[in-house]
Structure 1
Amino acid sequence: MRALFVPLLLIYASGSGRAAGASGTKGTRFVCTAVPAGTDLSCPVDTSSRVQGTSPQEEELRNTVIQLRETILQQKETIVSQQGTIKELNSKLARCEADARSRGSARRKDYSKNTMGDLPRDPTETVQQLGKTMQSLKDRLENLEQQQLRANTSGGMFPNELRDLLKRRLTDLESQLLTRVAELEEEKSQLYSETATHRQRTENTLSSLLERITELEKSNNAFKSPEDFKVSLPLRTNYLYGRIKKSLPEMYAFTVCMWLKSSASPGIGTPFSYGVPGQANEIVLIEWGNSPMELLVNDKVTQLPLSVSDGRWHHICITWTTRDGFWEAYQDGERLGTGENLAPWHPIKPGGVIILGQEQDIVGGRFDATQAFVGELSHFNMWDRVLRPVDISAMANCSAYMPGNVVPWVDANVEVFGGATKAALEICEDRLFDS
């Protein structure tokens, strides 16, 4: 920007000293001559025309010169200030352009990284910040216009070229800011669209994975029929077990039958237990340590003449009735023992929990690893009556199958925990293979 200076020096020349009269004689004339800034503007005094003191014309000219000088100084300060403002605007524009280039190179980064220098990280905040910057520039332009108005009022001369340059520069900057705002809005829309697309793609992928997992689970548990499966409990721990989802009603008799395969020693452990609130040993079948297999009803105990620890599949059934506490024990379809006075006249309490493979010290928990069943178990069925010997024999030799009317052995009724597994099994074919 070129510097302007417009100081004027008024120099007067005295005539013949006569006032202009009727004869048309010319009086004093004034000549305006441009002089460089910084020149001594004090008026030389013509001592030949001055008799005493200072004339009113000289005094008026001196005051005019002083006022012009003050005006020039004020305008000079204004120009310096405006030059600083222009430099600041240029710096701001350069920073905006640098941020725009930086934003373009890091466009694929997420919002958690600052891609706009000192601008906010969110495009919405960036647009708001640019709006504030534009408003600040407009306020500065208004201040400059007010300074021009004050300078014109005081009789000074504001450089029109500087004002026009500032307006053009501000217009260009405003246009660039608006363009940048539009670009940011477009980027924001694209990011939202890309985010929605990515989220949809991720959800589709997860849905596909879940469907695949479900298919694999179904294929692994695709038993030929709901009862053709087994529960495996390979370790003597206190956390491997199965659980029957159905509970028992109040019963005055029962028959429980199952297939067992175990070679654990000493003792196969606890094939099943039924506990109710207030009595964890409502019904328990257990072979613990070197003791024979035992049946507990309401925590009353009797020994059973059963032996199933040879690593082969065996079918066992136990019947009990509250009348005289009479019981029967069957192995592979043959009745091996009977007895009475086992918890006589005691009804089996309802609302308890049936656990496969563990003995309960509290309802549904507090297992003891030394009492855990080790082996495989299948076709656990329970009835609320005493079955006939012919029915038990038919199930043992695979000539008939009778699901329990209280607890049937179906896949949906059995859940496993702690590493216990369910696997497909056709019990009669597997038993023939063992034999």
Structure 2
Amino acid sequence: LSAVQIVPSLRSFSIPECVSVEGSKAGATQIPCTPQDLSRWNKLFIMLEDSQMKQDMLLHQNEDMVKVEVDSIQKELHKLNNNKACVQASENTCKCISEQMNGNLNKAMEQLREAADTYQAQNNETLQQLIHFSKNQATRLTKLESSSLLGAGLGQVAMKSFSAYPKEQEASNADGGKLERALMATVADLQRVHAQLALFQRATAHRFLPSGCEMALLFPMRSKHIFAEVIPSMSMSLQSFTICLWAKVTQTLNKTVLFSYGTKKNPQELQLLLARHSVLLTVGGETHLVEAHSVVTDGQWGHFCAAWSSEQGLATLWVNGDNVARVPGVAEGHVLPSNGFILLGQERSRSGIYRDLDSSVAFTGKMTGVNMWDHVLDAGRIKEYANQDGSCDSRGNVIGWGVSEIIPHGGSQYIN
């Protein structure tokens, strides 16, 4: 197999790009692909190109030698034909010249054989380095498989192709086309693994708690017995407030309670609710209602905030750091009464007895980062708390996540 056939095919082959993996919190992580690997590829292709150039130079050199010898013979024959007396001498001369040409040709063929042997040795060395590189890639994929949660299925796809790869490389010593096909198949496998890693990252992103929180409340099913009771750090007799929390709802119905504060006189004094794909806030009863439509997605974490001030009756709703509703005149001049009960994932019954709770309004899903302040937060603070990369260490002075006592009931529980 000549260098003219192999070098163009190797030039058309592109070096595989490095695979990147995104971590759960720290962003993208790149599979090691050192500059040594790239310089090694450049050296391999330069070696092949140098071999081709050497062979071409030898061929041109021998062609020039043959041409010179033929011209010399033609001149000698022309002189001899003009002198009949030198016919015998010309025969001897032709014989000597023929022997000299044969010697030169044999020398040229020997040089060509030496060049071919040298090229073959370089080619074999190049192939062995390519095989070693492919084995290193296989080892990296094996480590990646053992470190990922879904590595079993992912590794089967990648390693299946690498298991047959060395055998294909042995056969490629006789056929360079097989080498190129094997390398292209490896590139395709790496691209397939990269795509599956991207899917894996998107899938595992939903497993982590947002905003750097280390724990969450799990409400496994919709039941009147499953909720959490909150003991505030100060009196609930407030003229303004801001409530913020992270929630991942499994499914929202016509009314799903996130946060509820009720007293004996008014069990629905203050509520933060979900309704299908909407979020709602009530202050002083359902007559004072604030609503934002099409802002809730089932099965995804969302940051929900509600703020209210008695002075102007201005109520606002925020979802994922964006202001989605702003309504004035909501319970203007009202003051929240004290001595009530705060429930997460459920609302107080009119009888005040837990067995009379309504399962149809119960929350199912996960909740974390529940905080409440006795004043209205500015927009910058709310946007900061909606940052998924870490803001769980900010706590409210009325309810502080991780500080205030939150008591799970029924099947609700804390999870990491």
Normalised to the residue count of structure 2, the TM-score between the two structures is: 0.45
Higher relative contact order (Cα pairs below 8 Å, separated by 6+ residues)? 2
The structure that is helix-richer by fraction is: 2
Rg larger for: 1
Normalised to the residue count of structure 1, the TM-score between the two structures is: 0.43
